[in-house]
Amino acid sequence: MYNFEFVKPSSVDEAVAALKDEDAQPLSGGQTLIPTLKQRLNQPSRLVSLLGIADLVGLSESGGEMTIKGATNHATVAAEAASSFPGLAALAGKIGDPAVRNRGTIGGSIANNDPSACYPAAAMACQATIVTNTREIAADDFFEGMFATALDEGEIVTAVRFPVPEASNYQKFEQPASRFPLTGVFVAKYADRVGVGVTGASNDGVFRWKEAEEALASNFSPDAISGLTVPADDMISDLHGSAEYRAHLVKVLTGRGVAAC
């Protein structure tokens, strides 16, 4: 780790001000950022912790929407969303291990946009809204490919707003080493539509499998997608699976997700 300055403001405004410094960076649960610092892959001048901001923690529900504040950790989501949004609670409950879940946050996960992160799949399937200190961004516009988002320098994710589906399910197929999803599919069923968010599979990061969404909207059963194929062209190929394998998993997991809804 290189040296850096550490500040822990108690309000979003103070945090935004502290982030004006050129190489300043927000620190949330640190589950992604701290390992990169330890490996000297990142050299921020200042870390601005978001964990002292009471206003950034907690879940609330109104008008069919669940709002999860940016610095809410995965364990909290797993516990508190369990009755009203069990699909998302289960997703949060399967991230990493207890230590990771009690530190890592939804804001950090969404802002980092790891191509294998779990939350982005749910955000896409549910067409969630990403709320920042300056604006609101639709999930479709927020995620811009591997590790890339619509966030500007110094912009903070303050909350994520999910329309709560009638039923939902997350199929996480784990990469054997990291236990991140090798491919993960979030299926969300609403009265008027179905969302299918896919993570871990594509070179372009998280995406919606729109063909499946359409097919499932009229017939919400695994059979509805049996005739579809997922093109392997833009899928990730690595040590753990080929592009073809990932494309295949997208379909299998979508079917299983639908069956489990």
Task: Check residue 145 for interaction with ligand FAD (CB under 6 A).
Answer: no
Binds ligand FAD (CB under 6 A): choice among 31, 72, 168, 169: 31
Q: How many CB atoms lie within 10 A of CB 40?
A: 9
Task: Check residue 159 for interaction with ligand FAD (CB under 6 A).
Answer: no
Instruction: Kindly tell me the burial class for residue 177, based on how many C-beta atoms sit within 10 Å of its own C-beta (0-12, 13-18, 19 or more).
Output: exposed
Single out the residue of 156, 124, 119 nearest to residue 142, CA to CA: 124
**Interacting positions 24-63 with other proteins (CB under 8 A):** 39-40
- Given ligand FAD, other proteins, none, residue 112, with its beta carbon under 5 to 8 Å by kind, binds ligand FAD
Residue 175's φ and ψ, nearest 5 degrees, are: -70, 135
User: Minimum distance from CB of 8 to other proteins (Å)?
Assistant: 23
Binds other proteins (CB under 8 A): choice among 249, 250, 258, 261: 249
Task: Check residue 121 for interaction with ligand FAD (CB under 6 A).
Answer: no
Task: Check residue 109 for interaction with ligand FAD (CB under 6 A).
Answer: yes
How many Å apart are CA 137 and CA 142, to the nearest integer?
Answer: 6
Considering only the stretches 113-121, 123-131, 225-233, 244-252, report the one whose residues sit in contact with ligand FAD under the rule CB under 6 A: 113-121
Strand 5-7 and strand 46-49: the pairing is parallel
In this structure, are residues 109 and 181 in contact, taking their beta carbons and an 8 Å threshold?
Answer: no
Residues in the site for other proteins, rule: CB under 8 A?
39-40, 173, 176-178, 180, 182, 239-242, 245, 248-249, 252, 256
